[in-house]
Structure 1
Amino acid sequence: MNNFYIKSGIKNVESGKPYCSCLWRTAQTFFALFTISLAIASSVTAGEIKDARFSFAADTSRLVLELESAPKFTYFTLKNPQRLVVDLQNVDNNFSFTDLRLKGNLVDKIRHSKPKSPNDTRLVIELASKAQIKLFSVAKNADFPDRLVIELVDPNPVPVLVNSTGPNRDKNIIVVIDPGHGGTDPGSIGPTGTYEKNITLSISKMLARLIENEPGIKGVMTRNSDFYISPNERPKIAAREQADLLVSIHADAFTTPQPRGASVWVLSKGRADSELGRLLEQTERSSALLGAAADVIEDRDTERYFAETIFNMSMDLSRASSYELSNKVIREMKGITKMHKRTPQSASLAVLTTPETPSILVEVGFISNPVEEKNLNWSKHRERLALAVFNAIKAYFKKTPPDGTLWAEWKVDEPQEHRVSSGESLSLLAQQYGVTVRQLKNENKLTSDVVRIGQVLKIPSS
């Protein structure tokens, strides 16, 4: 018996005597069973959907699911009615979609259905019409967990036409804020791995908050989370919102780390002309652009000529407004960061092609430059950049508020300002603005009739 103990090779730590081999074999068996049970338990423990976001832009509906781990999924479609069925492996059924705000023209409802396996979840997306479907997973990063992206694209979108008949508009000034890139398109990537899409989204959200806190002006984001919108779809959102301005936020990059500084871009004249031609060609009748004016024009060529002339003027005005605003943005940003270009630049950029909407693209710095990448990762620096853009927007609209807005109404009640030039006098200015010298003196608290060159005078209402 003692020889058998010795063969077992296992001794009691306290007594130094060998353990009984039968006890050792029992322990081995128990350990093996415990390990197997743990493996089985881990294989059947389902993960969960941590969050869900739904968005709609132009002709695309997008559902993003945030998960605990990289998703394993299959899907298929059903007809009569149109449905998309998505099976998520090893994901529980507990997440509720009832609070998800669905909008757009593709998705009617999202619900659970009986899964193939108790450890899986089956989602049924009820569609309003047939759609082109794309599903893909996005790996987790510093800001987001693993995600499953479900994109539904309308194959027959309703074209967006510019309505020139002057419909009832929002009394607020509408500013569409466009964070560049997003989703599967990270944009440029900095030396330490910073994604441009995350920087642009952060600055855009800061800008949107500043705008929302200002009475009489409203901000609309093209995307408020991490998903992709094509450059051609972004100006369509501005057209749909009847925006007074589109501001697209980006971060520049170069093949070497040396370039740095911010810049502001507007649409080039050549691209503006080609977009106008495309718009006229794609419109079935120019009368859709002319509105009521087309009713008195019988000749088709004359109708097209008028439409082209009107929209040429409109786009020229839009480009001029974009250039004026760009200069204001540059002046504000000079106090925050180095400028790569000190005058507005022009280029053929798809995001800036809304015909009647002033549109600018702001490059907040070179993410490929190590110093600027570090600055852009600093929340305070991003806040200052957002404030600079906001101050420029506010100054621009304070000077030229769109007709029909609250700011336009407020400006009527505000006194005008005039900077005195050489040869001007109080009596001359009173005549020019249709007021009396006494009114000018009272408004500006002047004790004499003498004014100096460069002096800014408030002009009272006549």
Structure 2
Amino acid sequence: MKPRAASRSRRTLIKAGGTLLLSVFASVPARAAQILAVRVWPAEDYTRVTLENDSNLKATHFIVKDPERLVVDIEGLELNQTLKELVAKIQSNDPYIRQVRVGQNRPNVVRLVFDLKEEINPQVFTLAPVGEYRHRLIFDLYPVAPPDPILALIEKGEWTRAPQAETPAVPETKPVPETARSEAAEDKPQALTRMVTIALDPGHGGEDPGAIGRRGSREKDVVLAIAKRLKQRIEQQPNMRVMLTRDGDYFVPLHVRVQKARKVQADLFVSIHADAWIEPTARGSSVFALSEKGASSTAARWLANKENAADLIGGVNIRTHDKQLASVLLDLTTTAQINDSLKVGRAVLAELGGINRLHKQAVEQAGFAVLKAPDIPSILIETAFISNPEEEAKLTDDDYQDKMADAVFKGIRKYFAKNPPLAKNRMT
């Protein structure tokens, strides 16, 4: 065979082989994504449905009326047993979902149909892998008309009218030095001139478990239990009322926690945590306030960065996150707010020292996002280190939770005895 003819034959064979390989690869179907876990987080604020999977999923959705339904089509997916388990995870007391139906709508497309109890405003978005989570497809079902936070508390019987006859503060016929007023307050607490509103913020929740102890205790559960005990003590006071930023196991974004406190015109914001440290020997209780000029210690900075990452783990829809609000809150944060926060922080820290070893003897400061309400004294309490086996055991003990709630309450009460809140427009 001549060289030129042989060359043409080789090229023909190579082309044929390439075509054959392409046809083989084309005949191999693309591997469908796998659903690894399904989770449902019902709450009065909203219901979240999470599909955790091994790759990024594309979903489209639409609303069907009469009756109300949310239809979601997920591409690149074949129905598996894990996804079928979603049906049984819908609880009868879910505020927004009556039931869900799951089926293979067409090849490589799974359809979810949520039968709804009322009209909703859905948010459907994806989250990139973070921490121990893989890719997540999120469905957040919000009510079209969000409940008014004060009206909701009134309906629960947790929000009473302020006293009609207000007792004036300690009467003064002439100016009294600040030191004299403080000393008088220590001897006999001042009468408050109006109802004091306190926002309690149990950290983490829902998709975000917070720190986890060696025995499996979850921070989100421990701090909610302590917050509920503290709430009971505050409610027993005739001149105090309280709001929880979350009262169940669901995720609340950091900026929404601040918004909730501002909507009820809170006089104090208390965020409750039980964090972990890289060493299991770390122990003790701490109190933190906001800092505009950097953290007071390396540990405080590390902790603030860790707590501020809660939105990434819990899952915030970045398309709806109010970035402008975050900047406004930072810009408006005043020295007065921080000073008041340090005062209440010191009062609470002193009481915590009576029931547990203190990790730091002074109130620390760092840039915690959840403490950035411009007009509300705000503190963050680390009740103990859940990463310390001894303190983990305490945190899950009813008696210790009661002591922690008592200590925080005493600190709050002492702060307001010395620093009565300024008059506001009286609300129901």
TM-score of the aligned structures, taking structure 2 as reference length: 0.55
- Equivalent residues in 2 for 1:123-134, closer than 5 Å: 123-124=115-116, 126-129=118-121, 131-133=122-124
Tell me the equivalent position of 2:411.
Answer: 392
- Equivalent residues in 2 for 1:84-103, closer than 5 Å: 84-85=70-71, 89=84
Show structure 2 runs of 5+ residues with no match.
1-39, 51-58, 74-82, 105-111, 128-136, 147-160, 163-193, 296-322
1:187 aligns with 2:210: yes
- Equivalent residues in 2 for 1:450-461, closer than 5 Å: none
- Equivalent residues in 2 for 1:346-361, closer than 5 Å: 346-361=365-380
2-structure distance, mates of 1:281, 1:251: 28
Tell me the equivalent position of 1:414.
Answer: none
1:208 aligns with 2:231: yes
- Equivalent residues in 2 for 1:25-104, closer than 5 Å: 53-56=42-45, 61-62=46-47, 76-78=61-63, 83-85=69-71, 89=84
1-structure distance, mates of 2:292, 2:89: 54
1:322 aligns with 2:341: yes
2-structure distance, mates of 1:62, 1:360: 29
Cα distance 1:257–1:266, how it changes in 2: closer, same or farther (>3 A)?
A: same
2:385 to 366, 371, 386: 366
Displacement of 1:250 after TM fit? Answer: 0.6
Query: What percentage of aligned pairs have identical amino acids?
Result: 35
Tell me the equivalent position of 2:396.
Answer: 377
Which residue identity lines up with residue 386 of structure 2 in the other structure? Answer: I
TM-score of the aligned structures, taking structure 1 as reference length: 0.51
Listed one character per residue, the Cα deviations across residues 340-398 of structure 1 (whole Å, up to 9, x for unaligned) are 01100000100000000000000011111111111111110011011100111111112
SS in 1 for 2:254: coil
Which residue identity lines up with residue 244 of structure 2 in the other structure? Answer: M
Task: Tell which structure's C-alpha radius of gyration is larger.
Answer: 1
1:262 aligns with 2:262: no
Which residue identity lines up with residue 337 of structure 2 in the other structure? Answer: S
Displacement of 1:112 after TM fit? Answer: 5.8
Listed one character per residue, the Cα deviations across residues 220-258 of structure 1 (whole Å, up to 9, x for unaligned) are 111111111222321121112211110000112111111
CA RMSD of aligned residues (A): 4.2
Asked if the contact 2:273–2:383 (Cα under 8 Å) also holds between the matched residues in 1, the reply is yes
2-structure distance, mates of 1:400, 1:134: 45
Asked if the contact 2:90–2:99 (Cα under 8 Å) also holds between the matched residues in 1, the reply is no
Which residue identity lines up with residue 55 of structure 1 in the other structure? Answer: E
- Equivalent residues in 2 for 1:4-23, closer than 5 Å: none
Which residue identity lines up with residue 217 of structure 1 in the other structure? Answer: M
2-structure distance, mates of 1:237, 1:271: 26
Displacement of 1:175 after TM fit? Answer: 0.7
Tell me the equivalent position of 1:241.
Answer: 264
Q: How many residues align?
A: 278
- Equivalent residues in 2 for 1:264-303, closer than 5 Å: 264-270=287-293
Tell me the equivalent position of 2:157.
Answer: none
Cα distance 1:359–1:372, how it changes in 2: closer, same or farther (>3 A)?
A: same
Asked if the contact 2:69–2:114 (Cα under 8 Å) also holds between the matched residues in 1, the reply is no
SS in 2 for 1:54: coil
Which residue identity lines up with residue 232 of structure 1 in the other structure? Answer: H
SS in 1 for 2:404: helix
Displacement of 1:53 after TM fit? Answer: 4.1
SS in 2 for 1:387: helix
Tell me the equivalent position of 1:69.
Answer: none
2-structure distance, mates of 1:199, 1:93: 24
Asked if the contact 1:336–1:388 (Cα under 8 Å) also holds between the matched residues in 2, the reply is yes
Listed one character per residue, the Cα deviations across residues 16-46 of structure 1 (whole Å, up to 9, x for unaligned) are xxxxxxxxxxxxxxxxxxxxxxxxxxxxxxx
Tell me the equivalent position of 1:440.
Answer: none
SS in 1 for 2:44: strand
2:141 to 152, 159, 172: 152
Cα distance 1:150–1:223, how it changes in 2: closer, same or farther (>3 A)?
A: farther
Which residue identity lines up with residue 84 of structure 1 in the other structure? Answer: L
Higher relative contact order (CA 8 A, sep 6+): 2
1:331 aligns with 2:344: no
